[in-house]
């Protein structure tokens, strides 16, 4: 079964009607390669809201008060996540679940509308150094440091080559 496949409302209605005519959910699932839980969800949404329950709701934004009302229904009234989704016509259990998790960690203030999309990375860019004109003394110090490092490198290279040549001379 393909993940994250979007189905048209006509297709959803077709499966719901087939179930109402007597077809089992399992049969519909294997015939149309749709998970049984997905078909159950469509049937429940159709029973509670009719055809509008099967329509796709894209980029739905919910107010803080609405989210609090749903969370209170879940926590205080004892409704399940699924029942909350059906009662308030929320398309996914995951939405309510994330609201509950945010409410537990951050309280009521955490439920305000969050920015969508990728987070902006601030301050992680390497800052470009502006090359200011060096004084003559600073130039000479910089060159001196470079020459010392080069000299040390050449000394180490010479020592390594002598070390390799020494065992070869002993073998002869």
Mean pLDDT by 10 residues, the chain (172 residues): 70 91 92 89 87 78 88 88 88 88 85 69 67 84 95 93 78 60
Query: What is the reported pLDDT for 58?
Result: 72
Among 72, 87, 113, give the residue marking a domain's end.
Answer: 113
Does 88 share its domain with 106?
yes
Does 47 share its domain with 92?
no
Does 67 share its domain with 47?
no
The domain total for the chain is: 2
Mapped onto helix, strand or coil, the DSSP state of residue 162 is: helix
């Amino acid at each position: 079964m393909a993940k994250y496949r979007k189905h048209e409302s006509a297709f959803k209605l077709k499966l719901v009607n087939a179930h109402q005519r007597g077809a089992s959910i399992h049969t519909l699932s294997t015939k149309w390669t749709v998970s049984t839980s997905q078909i159950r969800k469509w049937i429940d949404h159709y029973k509670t809201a009719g055809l509008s329950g099967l329509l796709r709701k894209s980029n739905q934004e919910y107010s803080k008060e609405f989210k609090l009302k749903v969370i209170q229904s879940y926590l205080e009234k004892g409704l399940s996540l699924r029942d909350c989704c059906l009662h308030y016509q929320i398309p996914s259990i995951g939405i309510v679940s994330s609201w509950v998790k945010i409410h537990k960690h951050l309280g009521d203030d955490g439920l305000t509308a969050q920015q969508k999309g990728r987070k902006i990375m601030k301050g992680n860019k390497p800052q470009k150094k502006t090359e200011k004109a060096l004084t003559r003394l600073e130039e000479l110090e910089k060159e001196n440091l470079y020459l010392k490092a080069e000299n040390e490198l050449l000394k180490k290279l010479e020592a390594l080559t002598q070390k390799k040549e020494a065992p070869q001379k002993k073998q002869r």
